[in-house]
Amino acid sequence: MKKLLLITVAFLSISAFGQTKYEKGMTKAFDLWQNGQSWEAANLFERIAQAEADDWLPPFYVAQINIFNSFNEKDEEILTAQLKKAQDFLNDAKAISKDNPEILVAQAQLYTAWVAFDGQRFGMTYAPQIAQLYNDAYKLEPENPRVAFGKVDWDLGTAQFFGQDTAPFCKDMEAAVALYDAYEPKGQFHPRGGDDYAKQRLAQVCKKE
């Protein structure tokens, strides 16, 4: 009994230390990201990712930072390298967590970065894939605000491109934005953001007269 307790306590403390290290690392990475040092954050996520082989979150965030930072990149060489890196880490995340709507959304965003870079060149290839990814994610988790908003934002953008009326999408977009308030992240470091952009975008495209 003595031994058992000792072993339990020892394990508890070790795992508590391990947890702390992970928590410390993740918290620091998010701090760096929030303070505008996104590449430093990506590097730290990358280090955590290679140490924690069973956790999809660190590779997911490496991919996400590379994707977000690609949206305003004009140099094709850098863009290609960043999106390739993002794809590699996204593949790692997918291998750990299958049918994960957050990863599907990130994949859709990665393709959107290509389309944003050169629509004429990549639009025809990626547009149907992006639509399909949002559909698949929506089937898995319709109440996830990033899924619902991403889907309606993409559909609205497509309608805009084809010169169609965007008004029918505004209702869905409002509903998607409202989901952010009710959404409970699945864990301390699980994705939770996006509402600021969503609200801004809603105000921009669906102005109330």
Q: Which residues bind other proteins (CB under 8 A)?
A: 2, 5-6, 9-10, 13, 17, 21, 25, 39-40, 42-44, 46-48, 50-51, 76-78, 80-82, 84-85, 118, 120-122, 124-125, 127-129, 131-132, 134-135, 155, 158-159, 162-164
Give whichever of 42 and 106 is closer to other proteins, judged by the CB atom: 42
Q: Are 153 and 173 in contact (CB under 8 A)?
A: yes
Give whichever of 116 and 195 is closer to other proteins, judged by the CB atom: 116
Those residues with Cβ within 8 angstroms of residue 170's Cβ, 6 or more apart along the chain or in another chain? 156, 202, 205, 206
The alpha carbon of 204 is separated from its chain's Cα centroid by a whole number of angstroms, namely 22
Cα dihedral sign, 30-81-108-48: negative
Cα dihedral sign, 122-127-129-130: positive
The torsion angle over the Cα atoms of residues 67, 72, 74 and 78, rounded to 10 degrees, is -30
Rounded distance, CA 143 to CA 121, Å? 33
Give whichever of 156 and 180 is closer to other proteins, judged by the CB atom: 156
Those residues with Cβ within 8 angstroms of residue 191's Cβ, 6 or more apart along the chain or in another chain? 60, 102, 146, 185
Please report how close the Cβ of residue 110 comes to other proteins at its closest, in angstroms.
Answer: 13
Please report how close the Cβ of residue 139 comes to other proteins at its closest, in angstroms.
Answer: 10
Give whichever of 131 and 205 is closer to other proteins, judged by the CB atom: 131
Please report how close the Cβ of residue 105 comes to other proteins at its closest, in angstroms.
Answer: 15
Please report how close the Cβ of residue 184 comes to other proteins at its closest, in angstroms.
Answer: 28
Give whichever of 21 and 186 is closer to other proteins, judged by the CB atom: 21
Please report how close the Cβ of residue 153 comes to other proteins at its closest, in angstroms.
Answer: 13
